[in-house]
Structure 1
Amino acid sequence: MSSAKIGLLSLTALVFSSMVGSGVFSLPQNMAAVANGSALLIAWLITGVGILFLAFSLLYLSRQYPELDGGIYNYARAGFGELIGFCSAWGYWLCTTIGIVGYVVIVFSSLGTFVDTKEHVIFGDGNTLYALIGSSVFVWLVHWLVSRGIKEAAVVNLIATIAKIAPMVVFIACSLVAFKLDVFKLNLNDFSLKMPLWEQVKDLMLITLWVFTGIEGAVVLSSRARNRHDIGKATVFGVLLALAFYVMVTVLSYGVTSRAEIAGMHNPSMATLLTQLIGLPGTIVITVGLMISVASSYLSWTLFATEIPFLAAKNGAFPAMFLKTNANNVPISSLWLTSIVVQAALIGVYFFNKNYTWLLMISSVMILLPYLLVSAFYLKESGKNKQPKHILIALVATIYAVWLLYAADLSLLWDSVQLYMVGLMIFIYSYVKHKKRLTADDQSFT
């Protein structure tokens, strides 16, 4: 049952699945809208190096500090204290929660490709009444599945991960056949955006970060792992596999048609591109793949979002109610919190007419602080222990995290600050209650 541990294959699938969700299917259009081919290659080089060094940071931290379950929260707490640890947990929980809202929104936006007409918009951008009803049903189905047990949900995710790789392989194969070097060269030197190259690279940073959010998945579920050494392996394997898919999907797209045409495509743009290459089957293959992909990614991120409040509650950073587990050993109060917030956010998306891109950006910004704190903790500990190799890895990962903060949009950063301020009130309440409870326990003991 749910007390069973998660093996290397399932852990790797969780990492890969949490990263490769809806983002990859819209990645060609998202990138073409802000950058030419030269900026694209530079951005992938920076992101590839930065994200791999972050993955190695997580790998070594999971081995050097096996007692720190949950990683994202406990690394920040161990390195910088209770308040900073809470901020990391809060930011990460919001990132995952907002992110899974975005997953559901794009699924119904994709369904609109088949059923919407100019006269009758049913699903639109995933923010219509019909989309709200459909997404709400999906949210509570996943809630039920996760409540049955973490191990069981991870197995379902593994099967879905295998299924979602197939459409990406089809897209890459067809793009390779259709690839034209002269088209790629034109996109490489496309100056029509009239923006400096470095600005284009900067604009790509949050997009590339978004598609790698989830790199920490195996670390977050470290207490559920069958073998502690599998945590780091799953992280690196998942990142390498995802990086290969992302680079091939985007670079090959720039060799199929012009950047401007890709930029104007309806998302999921992979479906539009594949339809140009093989007709209607292209739309069907990518849309079905997207729905499978999003379902498994939604499941992965729900697992992560459920685990973090539970771990933080153990130290009083979240209210004690989140310590409650059900008969299947699932942090049920934490799961209810996540599902209710997702449901409320979907209602907000409907009433405020927000779309997938806005959710993507907010989610990406909320993860910046947790990633910076992980890298900084690793750098701090490596410096203390005078380990040159680890200092180098941690330094590169930290520089990458700081660079992401610099590249982020100021308005989005301000939105994230306000969300962190809301969390601060929760921390003060929870921590005071926790201290009172510890004092009462000490007095009763004496």
Structure 2
Amino acid sequence: MPEATETASKSKLNLPALTAMVVGSMVGAGVFQLPARFAGQTGVYGALIAWSIAGLGMLTLALVFQTLAVRKPQLDNGVYVYAREGFGLYPGFLSAVGFWASTCAGNAFYWVLIMTTLSQLFPEWRSVLGDGDTWPAFFISAAAVWGFFLLIRRGVKEAAAINFIVTVAKLVPLALFLVLVIFFVRWDVFAGNLTGGYDVPGGESLFAQVQGTMLITVFVFLGIEGASVYSRYAKKREHVGTATVLGFLSVLALFASISILSYGILPRAELAALPQPSVGGVLEAAVGPWGGAFIRVGLIISVLGAYLAWQLLAADVVYAAAKDNDLPRHFAVLNRRQVPEHAVLWTSVFVTVILFVVQFVDNALDFTLDLTAALALAPYALASAYALKIALQRDGYDGPAAGRRTRDLVIAAVSTAYTLFLIWVAGYVFLFLACILLAPATILYIVARRQQHAKVFTRPGLATFIAVLGFAVVGIVLLATGAVQI
């Protein structure tokens, strides 16, 4: 997500500065999870294929957001507005709530990650904090969530100094990781990790291995929509597309290098067994304990700074939706410091609820990571479908823009297909979980419509609600009977 809007707004950005901001919007905590997550699913060949698919798909998604920013500049209240504009009020509401829930799940992931990282830095705390899934870890995380709430409601906002510290804390350890790992790669180990086991009897097929990596590739690219936000700050409009492509390719190279080079440090089984953040474990295996400690300290600094930005983003999604009358007016109330206090309050409540729920799942870190990625997929798919729709209808493609329509049409079609494929890959469990959340949340939509004395559902909207409600009921039954477990 965007991490330096305040700085950007003060001056117009040249191409290098714009590219750096695009990179900063995409590099987050997920990159520190890559070695173990990839090794748990596939080998080198599968990783190369996975990054190729993710690279093409996510690049088209980034270009979709850029296209929408150019063709529909008036739609600037967030990702969810594209769903509302293209497919109706209720799908727009679902997109807003889904994106908000994704951001809240990401915030919960941050605290689980901080707790498990602290338990690695201080082994004597291991029995207390575990992997971020113990009750002491929950109470500490919940206290921190509400501490940030008190700061934000007093008007504390993201600052340029925080952005700089966060960026350095992320990129310097990762750069050091790449430099050191290149020198310590053992090519015999790398060769042994090539196939991931698809060539042995009983091993998973290469397709199944690649499929298993898709959600983590989505998670690490969350914030890709932030590239379009910076279009308004560019010195030259033509720099925006160039910065988007350059920034994306730089981030893709970083992510792919970290996951693939790690295969040359440890055998796949040992990589997969590393505790998260596994980048620290890989560097520790290469250079000794100081390497792991360095990565983990940098991660904690980075995550603490990024949490403030993500909490503000989550609240802003709710606030913007309320301003657009897609949520009750309650969420659009500003306090005397011009902070949307109710939006921040309910965001903090939801993050706390997610932290409570993860105490009952098998792997809190992976669950919150996958939930964050899965909840973002529908808003991304609807945005891609809207870009496809306006290209097909020639909406916004008059005059000189007509020549770009075919290009934008192809990009939007690929992005739509890719995001729909990701929804299928995520699986029905996360579809059920999303609907269990969205069905009762529809009460907020009904309240908002009645506040406007407007018809609640159109026929397509009602049909969509019935489908969501049906999936929610099925999901609850399957969870209650133990047929589906999380």
Q: TM-score, normalised by structure 2?
A: 0.81
Matches of 1:19 and 1:161 in 2, distance apart? Answer: 11
Deviates more, 1:225-234 or 1:241-250: 225-234
Counterpart position of 1:374: 383
Match of 1:82 among 83, 89, 93: 89
Offset, 1:16 = 4.4
Q: Within the alignment, does 1:180 sit opposite 2:186 as a pair?
A: yes
Q: Within the alignment, does 1:303 sit opposite 2:312 as a pair?
A: yes
Match of 1:95 among 97, 102, 106: 102
Match of 2:220 among 198, 211, 223: 211
Matches of 2:194 and 2:441 in 1, distance apart? Answer: 44
Offset, 1:121 = 0.1
The SS at the match of 2:127 is coil
Matches of 1:13 and 1:201 in 2, distance apart? Answer: 30
User: Amino acid of the residue matched to residue 432 of structure 1?
Assistant: R
Q: Which runs of 4+ in 1 moved over 6 A?
A: 9-14, 230-234
Counterpart position of 2:433: 415
Match of 2:266 among 224, 241, 257: 257
User: Amino acid of the residue matched to residue 49 of structure 2?
Assistant: I
Counterpart position of 2:407: 389
* 1:235-271 deviation digits (Å, cap 9, x = unpaired): 5555333322211110110122211110111111111
User: Amino acid of the residue matched to residue 352 of structure 2?
Assistant: Q
Where in structure 2 are the equivalents of 1:48-127 lying within 5 Å?
Answer: 48-116=55-123, 121-127=127-133
Matches of 2:49 and 2:119 in 1, distance apart? Answer: 34
Matches of 1:6 and 1:416 in 2, distance apart? Answer: 39
Counterpart position of 1:33: 40
User: Amino acid of the residue matched to residue 142 of structure 1?
Assistant: F
Counterpart position of 2:3: none
Query: In structure 2, do the counterparts of structure 1 residues 255 and 29 end up closer, same or farther at CA, with 3 Å as the change threshold?
Result: same
Contact 1:108 1:125 in 2 (8 A): yes
Matches of 2:21 and 2:348 in 1, distance apart? Answer: 19
Where in structure 2 are the equivalents of 1:191-340 lying within 5 Å?
Answer: 191=197, 194-217=203-226, 226=233, 236=245, 238-340=247-349
Counterpart position of 2:137: 131
Deviates more, 1:348-357 or 1:83-92: 348-357
Deviates more, 1:266-275 or 1:48-57: 266-275
Contact 1:74 1:85 in 2 (8 A): yes
Contact 2:41 2:213 in 1 (8 A): yes
Q: TM-score, normalised by structure 1?
A: 0.88
Structure 2: gaps (5+ residues): 1-5, 395-401, 456-486
Matches of 1:78 and 1:262 in 2, distance apart? Answer: 45
* 1:20-63 deviation digits (Å, cap 9, x = unpaired): 33321121001111111111110000000110110011112112
Matches of 1:94 and 1:233 in 2, distance apart? Answer: 31
User: Number of aligned pairs?
Assistant: 434
Offset, 1:331 = 2.3
Match of 2:52 among 45, 52, 74: 45
Contact 2:280 2:295 in 1 (8 A): yes
* 1:378-414 deviation digits (Å, cap 9, x = unpaired): 1111111161011011111111111111211221222
Matches of 1:6 and 1:367 in 2, distance apart? Answer: 30
Offset, 1:136 = 2.7
Matches of 2:215 and 2:82 in 1, distance apart? Answer: 23
The SS at the match of 2:128 is coil
Deviates more, 1:140-149 or 1:66-75: 140-149
Matches of 2:18 and 2:161 in 1, distance apart? Answer: 10
Q: Within the alignment, does 1:344 sit opposite 2:353 as a pair?
A: yes
Deviates more, 1:53-62 or 1:329-338: 329-338
Q: CA RMSD in A?
A: 2.9
Matches of 1:421 and 1:222 in 2, distance apart? Answer: 34
User: Amino acid of the residue matched to residue 166 of structure 1?
Assistant: V
Offset, 1:150 = 7.8
The SS at the match of 2:213 is helix
Query: In structure 2, do the counterparts of structure 1 residues 179 and 305 end up closer, same or farther at CA, with 3 Å as the change threshold?
Result: same
The SS at the match of 1:248 is helix
Query: In structure 2, do the counterparts of structure 1 residues 351 and 263 end up closer, same or farther at CA, with 3 Å as the change threshold?
Result: closer
Offset, 1:140 = 3.1
Matches of 1:46 and 1:351 in 2, distance apart? Answer: 33
Match of 2:168 among 162, 165, 168: 162
Counterpart position of 1:440: none
